[in-house]
Amino acid sequence: MLIFINFLHVLTSQSNSTSEDLNSVLERYKFIGEGKIFLRKINCWDNSEVFNSTDMYIGKAKENFILFSTNLEVLLQFQYFYLSIVSNIELIQTICAKLDYFSGHEKYLNSDLKRTYQALSEQIIICQENIYNFISLTNNESNNRIISNPMIITYKSNTDGFKSFTEELMNMAQLLEQLRIVFRDIFNNTC
């Protein structure tokens, strides 16, 4: 449980909302702010079915990217990964808050809560994949279309800031892995 408690402490050290913490990181490097402005200008942010669909959060939105021009594909992928990560983290935070109440009573967990543990582990894996995909997308120097994108050039020109942002995402992925292991052990011990 120590890793679990430490994980919660890290996620909530600056705010009660993990999504706010992630937002502050992204805004710090002007990452999502500029992206939102751009998408609003091209009328894709508020009106697009892609961004109003719950499919966004279960991966099917990738299929919808085909509907947009190649020039917008990278920007939409950035927005997709950002929203996916925030969605994953918000769900994880919500479940963690509920599970924290039971942290000292694992042996009394009922079947519903066990299923919650399983669902949380699956959600953590999805979140990790989104983080790694996000980092891979920004670091893919062999893809000329990506690295020639004006937004990417802007973000990567701030080398220290971009490196720090990437490191923070990697740290988040590692914390998620620690949490996943904790939940795996708890689940195995309570089945």
pLDDT digit string, tens, across residues 95-114:
666 555 555 555 555 555 56
- The answer to whether the pTM exceeds 0.75 is no
Residue ranges in the chain assigned as alpha helix (H): 2-12, 18-28, 32-41, 49-52, 61-64, 70-100, 111-139, 144-147, 150-157, 159-190
pLDDT tens, position by position, 5-61: 343 344 334 333 444 444 444 444 343 344 444 434 433 333 344 334 333 333 333
User: What is residue 49's predicted lDDT score, i.e. its pLDDT?
Assistant: 42
- Residues in CB range of 75: below 8 A, 6 or more apart: 35, 38, 39, 149, 151
Two structure tokens written together for 133: 């995909």
Two structure tokens written together for 30: 């002007």
Q: How many domains does the chain have?
A: 1
Are 146 and 140 contacting, i.e. CB atoms less than 8 angstroms apart? yes
Q: Which residue has tokens 């990278």?
A: 74
Residue 167 lies in domain? 2-190
DSSP 107: G
Two structure tokens written together for 101: 């109440």
User: What is residue 40's predicted lDDT score, i.e. its pLDDT?
Assistant: 42
- Give the integer Cα–Cα distance in Å for 179 and 187: 12
Q: What angle do CA 138, 144, 148 make, to 5 degrees?
A: 70
